[in-house]
Amino acid sequence: MNSIGISRRRLLKLSGAATAAGALGLGSQASYAQSASVKVWDQYSSEPMRSAFQKVLDRFGSDAGYNLIREVQLGASIKDIAATALSSGTGPDLLQYSVGQGNAGLLADANLIIPLDDYAAEYGWQDRLSSIALLEASLGGRIWGGPQESEVSMLFVNKTLFAQLGLDVPSTHEEMIAVAKEAKKAGVIALAYGQQDWFPSWWAASNIFGNAMGAKATADLTFNNVGSLNTPEVVDGLEKFCVELPEAGAFVDQVNSLPFGDAQALFQAGGALMLLTGTWSVGAIEETMTGVDVDIMPMWSFDGKPRAYPTGSGSAMYISAASEAKDETAALINFLYEVDMVKLMIEEASIIGPVEVDASTLNLSHLQMRSAQSVSTGDGDPAVTQSAFVHHGLGGSNLHKLLTGGFQAIFSGDTTAKELAADLQAAWEKDNS
Amino acid sequence: MTDNASKAVFSQNSDPDTPDETGWRLSASQRQAVFGYALLLGPFLIYGYFMLIPLIRTAYFSLTSWNGVTAEKTFVGLDNFVRMAFDPLFWGALTNTAIWVIGGTIFELAIALLLAMLVWNRPRGFMIYRTIFFMPMVLPAVVVGVVWIWIYSPLFGILNRGLKTVGLESWALGWLGDPGIALYSVLAASIWAHVGLSFVIFVAALQNVDEELLDAAKIDGATAWERFYFVVVPQLSNAITLVAVLLLVHGLNGFDLIWVMTHGGPNDSTQILATYAYETAFVQNEAGYGSAIALVLAAIALFVSVATVNMRERTAAGQSS
């Protein structure tokens, strides 16, 4: 066996050299640390969003010369770790987090993030960003976050399947009831909707409230705490969606047992005429439903009232109060609003930014274009056709819990529309007391 | 080395309790005690840091109104416990915890014993059966949860499809969506996942059952059930007690499978104390109230553990006397 001998003297020399090299390495690290280093926690965990956002970060890193450290977090777990990480000083400089008092509001209350009004003024966000996006990222009249994806909740419509069954796309509740009955006869589900997960009922509620109360009333309640969820209109809307539609056979038999992923898979497989979700599903729908004529539309009308898309921001970018690179982090947020970056995100990841871009300059598919239109104008007068996500804004954890549990209870026959509306209002008041 | 010899080596002072010029000298037994405590110090520090301090802090948080994020914690005394007494969700979660722990223990114990009895005479393929029964034990709870969500799926699930195929359409239910049966559906998945360990313990214990007693009972005309109940079960009493204790403690630790499969829903019908405490503290952002619920759960777990261990020791003492 060959062996390499080494004397004690030689070992000491080598150790000295290694120590010196280590010291030099530390020195170079220290000098590098003096150039800005920004740690980013984002929630773009799946493709193609993940890669598209990486391109944006790479571009910023090379343009600005900053050292960007990206850590992708799952949306489901970030709420568990963000507050602890921020308060312990190990968190990111830039945090992508859900908007609203029940989410980012807690971080703001704990002084874990900083208000961005000064940066907003410096970069002119008030003029460049959509007003509803800024409103979504605001708390108590101050801008706390840089809004990210602009989105609406709506229905995907399989027009090919509608044509095959000889049915018209419904625009009123009565037409929807008729479609549900005909679809059931044909062995097809009218509306792919499952609420085993927490969030699908939140989207459903926002669609119901927007069409029942009207866009302005919904936004007034969501952002200004003006109005009530315990109204005859809301009771009627809940009755129509949660009682009359199941009776007409519009859904799968066990809505409470169906996870959202399975509902979406049902639609993608051609087993349902419509799917209740939002613009965030465009990428998945396009990828799997090639050759199928798919469109989007707002929820059908209740009693001839206007149909509105719940519109808002899924999340916003927040700056940690503990960050030592606040200016650089704000510059990164502002970079996300560069037109080229907004175009990159919408074209490659179907993420619609809060900045208006000329649609004619974009290379978009039909569904991406329809999504952009719905986000931009709501297919009409935005004052009428764009309502709010009621679980954003001032909606807190009590409302969130009841939007899930209450909807499950009414579908299982354990509560009524009238009781649910009263409970929802009580939860709202508890959140805002 | 004898005690005297050690004295000779370590102590030059003839009177161990008399100080010499270097101070007090310890006797061998004292030194042994000090050495023992020194060895215990490390584990105690680790236990204290990771168990006692968090427990004490949880007890403190339970007396506060705190959202889990802000530095400010408002002392509210026993308000959280008073609130708990009038909280229907807490009582629902407590009831579900009792069903989960007691039902889970009884059914899992019975199924494991049944399976062990079926392979007692080492039928052909015994190794395969043992592997199949034990295999779910090595699966992470998340995997078990996802697999059973698929099994129960109202759209694609093999359970409802199988029932419909054999003409039992009325038995095809919303297993995880019906508040009346969701808890039992998750419990079934839990039993499937964990029955393997109990099964292995019973298989090992059955090897020690005296078959001559069984033969004698058979000659005396005992039925199969009587032989099982009056001959086999008493000889398995230690194993049964061990399995029961393990299952009770494991049941009180239940959280992961419920969280993966239902998040405590639908409409809180599968909420047990552990999930309710977590949801209250980390989803509802009521860390003070969540801590109070967690403290009650800890007290119940402590009581059950002490009671079962006492019972086991009493049983063992009775057998030995």
HEC sequence for chain B: CCHHHHHHHHCCCCCCCCCECCECCCCHHHHHHHHHHHHHHHHHHHHHHHHHHHHHHHHHHCCEECCCCCCCCEECCCHHHHHHHCCHHHHHHHHHHHHHHHHHHHHHHHHHHHHHHHCCCCCCCHHHHHHHHHHHHHCCHHHHHHHHHHHHCCCCCHHHHHHHHCCCHHHCCCCCCCCCCHHHHHHHHHHHHHHHHHHHHHHHHHCCCCHHHHHHHHHCCCCHHHHHHHHHHHHCHHHHHHHHHHHHHHHHCCCHHHHHHCCCCCCCCCCCHHHHHHHHHHHCCCHHHHHHHHHHHHHHHHHHHHHHHHHHHHHHHHHHC
Q: What is the largest CA-CA distance in chain B?
A: 95
If interface means Cβ-Cβ distance under 8 Å, which residues of chain A face chain B? Answer: 79-80, 83, 87, 102, 106-107, 109-112, 196-198, 252-259, 262, 265-266, 271, 397-398, 400-401, 404-406, 408-409, 412, 414
Separation in Å, CA of A292 to nearest CA in chain B: 22
Give the Cα separation of B284 and B263 in Å (integer).
13
- Phi, psi of A66, deg, nearest 5: -95, 155
For chain B, percent of residues with pLDDT exceeding 90 = 66
Instruction: Give the mean pLDDT of B239-244.
Output: 90
Note the ipTM here.
0.78
Q: Which of A111, A406, A412 sits opposite B179 (nearest CB)?
A: A412
The whole-number pLDDT of residue A74 equals: 86
Tokens representing residue A377 in the block: 């104008």
pLDDT bin (cut points 50, 70, 90) of residue A147 is very high
Separation in Å, CA of A189 to nearest CA in chain B: 11
The whole-number pLDDT of residue B319 equals: 64
The whole-number pLDDT of residue B23 equals: 61
Instruction: Give the mean pLDDT of A57-65.
Output: 90
Q: Which helix (H) or strand (E) holds A155?
A: strand A150-158
How many residues are listed for chain B in this entry? Answer: 321
Separation in Å, CA of A388 to nearest CA in chain B: 22
The whole-number pLDDT of residue A140 equals: 86
Give the Cα separation of A230 and A215 in Å (integer).
16
pLDDT bin (cut points 50, 70, 90) of residue A4 is very low
Torsion of the alpha carbons at A13, A18, A24 and A25, rounded to the nearest 10: 170
| DSSP type of residue A253 | S
Instruction: Give the mean pLDDT of A351-371.
Output: 86
Contact A330, A120 (CB under 8 A): no
What are the tens digits of pLDDT across the range A166-188? 999 999 999 999 999 999 999 99
Residues of B in contact with A406 (CB under 8 A): 267
Contacts of B317 (CB under 8 A, 6+ apart): none
For chain A, percent of residues with pLDDT exceeding 90 = 67
Give the Cα separation of A272 and A264 in Å (integer).
9
Q: Identify the residue among A196, A408, A416 best suited for mutation to test binding to B, counting B beta carbons within 10 A and taking the highest.
A: A196
Report CB contact under 8 Å: B265, A256: yes
Q: Which of A234, A241, A198 shows the shortest CA–CA distance to A401?
A: A198
> β-strands A67-72, A94-98: how paired?
unpaired
pLDDT bin (cut points 50, 70, 90) of residue A149 is confident
Contact A344, A132 (CB under 8 A): no
Instruction: Give the mean pLDDT of B279-283.
Output: 90
Output the CA torsion sign for A188, A194, A200, A206: positive
Instruction: Give the mean pLDDT of A356-367.
Output: 84
The whole-number pLDDT of residue B7 equals: 45
Contacts of B82 (CB under 8 A, 6+ apart): none
Tokens representing residue A293 in the block: 């004529």
Mean pLDDT of chain B: 88
Q: Which of B68, B70, B265 sits opposite A404 (nearest CB)?
A: B265
| DSSP type of residue A279 | G
Separation in Å, CA of B50 to nearest CA in chain A: 17
Mean pLDDT of chain A: 89
Contacts of A220 (CB under 8 A, 6+ apart): A226, A227
pLDDT bin (cut points 50, 70, 90) of residue A35 is low
Contact A399, A428 (CB under 8 A): yes
Report CB contact under 8 Å: B283, A106: no
User: Which residue in B has a C-alpha nearest to residue A263's C-alpha?
Assistant: B155
Give the Cα separation of B127 and A43 in Å (integer).
46
Residue B11, pLDDT > 60, answer no
User: Which residue in B has a C-alpha nearest to residue A409's C-alpha?
Assistant: B267
The whole-number pLDDT of residue B9 equals: 44
Cα atoms found within 13 Å of the Cα of residue B130, Cβ hemisphere only: 16
Strand segments, DSSP code E, in A270-343 are: 272-278, 294-297, 309-313, 315-319
Tokens representing residue B22 in the block: 């270097």
Give the Cα separation of B72 and B64 in Å (integer).
10
pLDDT bin (cut points 50, 70, 90) of residue B22 is low
- In which residue are the tokens 């804004």 written? A393
Q: Identify the residue among B153, B163, B164, B268 best suited for mutation to test binding to A, counting A beta carbons within 10 A and taking the highest.
A: B153
Instruction: Give the mean pLDDT of A219-230.
Output: 94
Give the Cα separation of A367 and B76 in Å (integer).
54
Strand segments, DSSP code E, in A60-140 are: 67-72, 94-98, 138-139
Identity at A402, one-letter amino acid code? L
Classify A319 as helix, strand or coil: strand
End-to-end CA distance of chain B, in Å? Answer: 37
Residue A216, pLDDT > 80, answer yes
Compute CA distances A396 → A81, A199, A402, B99, whole Å. Answer: 19, 14, 10, 32
A58 vs B4 pLDDT, higher one: A58
Residues of A in contact with B68 (CB under 8 A): 83
The whole-number pLDDT of residue A15 equals: 47
Radius of gyration for the alpha carbons in chain B, expressed in angstroms and rounded: 27
Give the Cα separation of B291 and B120 in Å (integer).
46
- Phi, psi of A147, deg, nearest 5: -60, 145
Contacts of A21 (CB under 8 A, 6+ apart): none
Report CB contact under 8 Å: A252, B154: yes
Give the Cα separation of A126 and A131 in Å (integer).
7
Separation in Å, CA of B181 to nearest CA in chain A: 11
Report CB contact under 8 Å: B283, A398: no
Contact A52, A349 (CB under 8 A): yes
Tell me the range of A280-284, B168-172, B259-263 where mean pLDDT is highest: B259-263
Report CB contact under 8 Å: A112, B69: yes
Give the Cα separation of A66 and A58 in Å (integer).
10
The whole-number pLDDT of residue A341 equals: 93
Separation in Å, CA of B282 to nearest CA in chain A: 7
Strand segments, DSSP code E, in A183-271 are: 189-192
Tell me the range of A25-29, A62-66, A352-356, B98-102 where mean pLDDT is highest: B98-102
Q: Which of B175, B267, B285 sits opposite A257 (nearest CB)?
A: B175
Q: Which of A196, A397, A412 sits opposite B284 (nearest CB)?
A: A397
- Phi, psi of A316, deg, nearest 5: -140, 165
Q: How far is CA A240 from the centre of its chain?
A: 26
Instruction: Give the mean pLDDT of B298-318.
Output: 83
Chain A / chain B CB contacts < 8 angstroms: 96
The whole-number pLDDT of residue A200 equals: 95
Residue B292, pLDDT > 60, answer yes
The whole-number pLDDT of residue B313 equals: 78
Residue B136, pLDDT > 60, answer yes
Contacts of B302 (CB under 8 A, 6+ apart): none
Q: What is the pTM of this model?
A: 0.82
User: Which residue in A has a C-alpha nearest to residue B271's C-alpha?
Assistant: A405
Q: Identify the residue among B87, B176, B267 best suited for mutation to test binding to A, counting A beta carbons within 10 A and taking the highest.
A: B267
The whole-number pLDDT of residue A262 equals: 92
Residue A9, pLDDT > 70, answer no
Give the Cα separation of B33 and B36 in Å (integer).
5
- Phi, psi of A192, deg, nearest 5: -75, 110
Residues of A in contact with B283 (CB under 8 A): 79, 397, 400-401
Tokens representing residue A149 in the block: 């994806």
Residues of B in contact with A79 (CB under 8 A): 282-283
Residues of B in contact with A109 (CB under 8 A): 67, 69-70
If interface means Cβ-Cβ distance under 8 Å, which residues of chain B face chain A? Answer: 67-71, 149, 152-156, 173-179, 262-263, 265-268, 279, 282-286
Identity at A360, one-letter amino acid code? S
For chain B, percent of residues with pLDDT exceeding 70 = 91
Radius of gyration for the alpha carbons in chain A, expressed in angstroms and rounded: 25
pLDDT bin (cut points 50, 70, 90) of residue A284 is confident
Residues of A in contact with B156 (CB under 8 A): 262
pLDDT bin (cut points 50, 70, 90) of residue B18 is low
Report CB contact under 8 Å: B285, A397: yes
Instruction: Give the mean pLDDT of B123-144.
Output: 89
What are the tens digits of pLDDT across the range A95-143? 999 999 888 988 898 889 999 999 999 999 999 998 889 999 998 889 9
Residue A32, pLDDT > 60, answer no
What are the tens digits of pLDDT across the range B105-119? 999 999 999 999 999
pLDDT bin (cut points 50, 70, 90) of residue A27 is very low
Whether the link from the prior residue into B266 is cis, omega within 30° of 0, is yes
- Window from A217-221, A222-226, A405-409, B12-16 with minimum mean pLDDT: B12-16
Tokens representing residue B130 in the block: 């043992």
What are the tens digits of pLDDT across the range B45-100? 999 999 999 999 999 999 999 988 888 899 999 999 999 999 999 999 999 999 99
Separation in Å, CA of A305 to nearest CA in chain B: 31
Residue A328, pLDDT > 60, answer yes
Give the Cα separation of A134 and A333 in Å (integer).
13
Residues of A in contact with B285 (CB under 8 A): 102, 106, 397
> β-strands A94-98, A37-42: how paired?
parallel
Instruction: Give the mean pLDDT of A405-432.
Output: 95
Contact B201, B113 (CB under 8 A): no
The whole-number pLDDT of residue B20 equals: 54
pLDDT bin (cut points 50, 70, 90) of residue B321 is low
The whole-number pLDDT of residue A362 equals: 83
Instruction: Give the mean pLDDT of A194-217.
Output: 95
Separation in Å, CA of B83 to nearest CA in chain A: 15
The whole-number pLDDT of residue B282 equals: 86
Other CB atoms within a 10 A radius of the CB of residue A54 amount to 15
Separation in Å, CA of B155 to nearest CA in chain A: 8
Residues of B in contact with A197 (CB under 8 A): 263
What are the tens digits of pLDDT across the range A244-283? 999 999 999 889 999 999 999 999 999 999 999 999 899 8
pLDDT bin (cut points 50, 70, 90) of residue B320 is low
